[in-house]
Structure 1
Amino acid sequence: MVDRPTAVLLTVSASVLVVTMLLAVSWALGHVISTPYLPLEWMVARHGVAIAIDFGLCGLLAWRRVMAEGDKR
């Protein structure tokens, strides 16, 4: 069982991954079936930063917290 801050970090990391992948699919479909899609500059700025910071950093911090808790046992 993980503590509350670790659970929040894991939840944020997982949620951001789902949202950003939906954005990526939306962008790709826009090129294939001619539906409106977000500009590439917007995708780089938002999608890339969200993956790097929200998914990557929150996931890494949660993983480190879980490992630190395992070392205490």
Structure 2
Amino acid sequence: MKICLVGYGKSNTDLLTKLLETNHQIFVSQDKDFKESDEIYFKKNNIQYETNHNDLLKNCDLAIVSLVSHQKVRLLK
């Protein structure tokens, strides 16, 4: 299964660690740049990532939205 983590806040960071133990293909998508340390981690673990909510998000079987990102959006409204 292709799983896309939307946003890379605390909840999805922890979830990614758990998902790496499975046979699923994992993607990470968010609408801002990642920290350099995150990009190094993704590359080391063969995790595809994007900063524009584009093809990875559109072509996944399951999208999991980071709760932290969702709460921040609600606070900004």
With a CA cutoff of 8 Å and minimum separation of 6, indicate the structure with the bigger relative contact order.
1
More strand, by proportion? 2
TM-score, with normalisation over the residues of structure 1? Answer: 0.29
Q: Rg larger in 1 or in 2?
A: 1
TM-score, with normalisation over the residues of structure 2? Answer: 0.28
